[in-house]
Structure 1
């Protein structure tokens, strides 16, 4: 004898699966970004050993991306997705901006113009762009769920 499955139970299970997949994919994108920045940081800091240096900025980006990935994985809340969205979008904007715009050093910040694309830089940009889109979707889903009275985070 089989037990009938309610339609709402199935829909909730499907929504939960989508939520977990979204959280996982967002975290993978952010961790890819973090890994690339962590890997590249020492070489960029060598170019500017004093001051803040681009290598130290890369380490800060890696830490922020890793923290955002952890927040999305563990919580999946609106705040976690918002933080992930800001981290990923700002990193994506920076890599594209400094690829095409030669901004001179200002204050303690070094000039970061680099008019080339190479594998790690491209992988980072793709991960950051994907992370921003995925986090934006997560943010929209958590807002919609909160507005309809379903899962509120």
Structure 2
């Protein structure tokens, strides 16, 4: 027999797994695409290196969400997913010039991997916002 709060614990676990899955999808796609994007600027920062940095941050935050499930973890997940979604939308819609060592990343063409990561980022952002609103402060577990 399940005690009180078992449903909310199950919902918390599902939410954490879904946010983690969206961050992991985002990270894997960026890792797979990074080498091809780095070819355009092999000696500089390059878009490929930016993809690797984004992947590393998504993986770190995914682990934080999975382990803690706290409001700070969801806040970081929201920051990673929303900023990555903003970047993919901006790079698809606006022809921004290179800014210092950061290359121009204008790419109006949508393909499967780009669409997949945009959907994962959008879903992850919404779910991270839900976790931020309903999550436990500090990720502390209540005594049963």
Fold agreement, TM-score > 0.5: yes
Q: Give CA deviations for 1:50-75 in whole Å, capped at 9, x if unaligned.
A: 11100000000100111111000000
Determine the C-alpha separation between the residues in 2 that align with 1:129 and 1:38: 19
SS at match of 1:112: coil
Q: Give CA deviations for 1:1-50 in whole Å, capped at 9, x if unaligned.
A: xxxx69xx33x000000000000000000000000000000000011101
2:55 alignment partner in structure 1: 62
Task: Please list, as runs of the form range in 1=range in 2, the aligned pairs for 1:98-113 lying within 5 A after superposition.
Answer: 98-113=91-106
Task: Please list, as runs of the form range in 1=range in 2, the aligned pairs for 1:4-43 lying within 5 A after superposition.
Answer: 9-10=3-4, 12-43=5-36
2:130 alignment partner in structure 1: 137
Q: What TM-score, normalized to structure 2?
A: 0.92
Determine the C-alpha separation between the residues in 2 that align with 1:30 and 1:93: 15
2:44 alignment partner in structure 1: 51
Which 4+ runs in 1 deviate beyond 2 A?
A: none
Task: Report 1 or 2 for greater relative contact order, CA contacts < 8 Å, sequence distance ≥ 6.
Answer: 2
Give, in angstroms, the shift of residue 132 of structure 1: 0.5
SS at match of 1:122: helix
Structure 1: gaps of 5 or more residues: none
Structure 2: gaps of 5 or more residues: none
Determine the C-alpha separation between the residues in 2 that align with 1:15 and 1:101: 42
How many residue pairs are counted as aligned between the two chains?
A: 139
Determine the C-alpha separation between the residues in 1 that align with 2:46 and 2:55: 14
